Amino acid sequence: MNDNSILIELHYLPCIEYFCQFLQYDEIYIEKHEIYTKQSYRNRCRIRGSNKIENLIVPIKHRGKQKITDIEIDYDQKWLGVHQRAIMSAYGKAAFYEHFGEEFLTILRKRYRWLFELNYELLSLCLKLLKLECQIKFTDRFENLHKNDQIDLRGEIHPKKRGTGMTNFTSFPYTQIFGSNFVENLSIIDLLFCYGNMSKGVLTKSIKKFENKSNCYRYNKK
């Protein structure tokens, strides 16, 4: 590992803040040996519907403390149709939905057994559409303390946590489909369906720029 790598967990259709990290670091280490954490972005995302912000949650078969790669998706609950309808309803008329909306739905319809596999396939698609070329690696064991030359962002991007500064993120407003007030840091699909191949530019503008380099995370010069 070098001093330009991060350690982060997999999320379901991650938020904009998550992808800003992929612009700032050369190597991305995905945590593969953590114990699953409830009420996190690992199995949920937020999108903007016509009347409200919707939380899309992937139900799981939770059996106590389990490694993230052992978390099985619960298809007995009718979440898949709910997610597909919600995405189509929210973004069906968005400028870029017709270009790659079906690619997301196709992945969902594959009915992956494991949450980790579903999240990784969706992440890979998002990186392709954003044209982000990242060197992604997986951890080979779990370590509570990260190595000195690595930025540990595990747990930093969380539905109940904001503004820690570790992710070097500030929301840059863009035009959304519904409502007059901008809602920050939704799932990346909100940005992709609205801005398409211009999405990477919004991500770039969502990264704070600092002059002082004394903090523990990487800064970006103007």
User: How much is the pLDDT for 214?
Assistant: 35
- pLDDT class of 86 with cuts at 50, 70, 90: very high
C-alpha distance from residue 154 to each of 5, 7, 34, 143, 151 (Å): 13, 6, 10, 11, 9
- Stretch 7-13: mean pLDDT: 97
Q: Residues with Cβ < 8 Å from 148, sequence gap 6 or more? A: none
Residues 6+ apart with CB under 8 A from 163: none
- Residues with Cβ within 8 Å of 124's Cβ and at least 6 positions away in sequence, in order, are none
Asked if residue 188 lies in contact with residue 16, where contact means CB atoms within 8 angstroms, the answer is yes
Per residue in 102-150, pLDDT tens?
Answer: 999 999 999 999 999 999 999 999 999 999 988 999 999 998 876 667 8
Kindly give, in sequence order, each residue whose CB lies less than 8 Å from that of residue 162, ignoring residues fewer than 6 positions away.
none
Confidence at residue 211, expressed as pLDDT on a 0 to 100 scale: 38
Angle among Cα 25, 6, 203 to the nearest 5 degrees reads 45
Angle between helices 97-109 and 188-195 (to 10 degrees): 150
